[in-house]
Structure 1
Amino acid sequence: MLLSNCKASLIYTREIGYSAKHQALASKKRKNYGELMHIVKMDNVKTPTIDLGGERIFELLNASKAGGGVQNHSMILLELDAGQASPSEAHFHKQSEETYVVLSGLAIMRIEDQEFRLEAGDVAVAGIGEKHQIIAQGDQPLKCLAIMAKPFDVEDVYT
């Protein structure tokens, strides 16, 4: 349900039983960002945030106003040319788990000492502390979403 104004939002939250605390947080978010819901059309995200030549990262959700102001997770669209790996060597996070959703293409997901073959529609999770890497396979580019909970922090990347 898309809510068009603040009054409707408060009625809706009361109807589904959110606490006064949750209502206050939603109200604060509307005040800060002017909206309760943030919608990203992936087809409209044309310029990568990071382009490493063969690996393109498009930030979709993060803590910034432009990224929807999300606090508990972050999301990127990752594009890899055939044969490319992300990152160039396996890594892990001490504070976050990372979920990959393959949108198109084929991949090998390395998690610790195991390898898994992934295709469109597959989901893989690297838990906190698990060393992982995704590699595009075949002759087509790989597109996948990478969702991190806690949000991505460059200081939480270890090799």
Structure 2
Amino acid sequence: MLLKAGDVFSNREISRIFNVCTRRGIRYSGSLRTGINHVVLTTFLNKTPEESIENPYNDRFEGERLLYTGEGRIGDQQMTRGNLALKMQMEKRFPIFVFEKKAPGKYMFLGQYNVVSVEIEKQYDVHGKLRNVFIFKLEKVSDRVLLQPGNLKVLPKL
């Protein structure tokens, strides 16, 4: 199966294809202790003010880079779980596959990315309190991925 930027999938399809959970914005296959196989990120761009109350993450593009807000909805974010997996990717370089939420249960594939840096930014949490969040800066590696049983092959960027 060839996965191309612009292809749309259901949440269940993403979970089945990549062997990750159906919840969370940062979903990884493998473990932090024994090694991450790959990460699936879901982002919700261009939110309405009402949607921003429930989903306080300020993900956005700056030029070609995706600025992805780490996980944790209340208080300062911690470098654990999904946030730690993204930080580890800067050294280990396992694949990160990014999907943008387009409608309830529908996600569009944006491509494969690498984390190039992580910074701390001030953002509001779900209770309206200012807090520290991690901003992971990601650059696109490829628009296409060839999915084969037990193997994810990255194709050159178009």
Task: Report TM bin, short chain.
Answer: under 0.3
Q: TM (normalized to structure 2)?
A: 0.26
TM-score (norm 1): 0.26
More strand by share: 2
- Which is higher, the Rg of structure 1 or of structure 2? 1
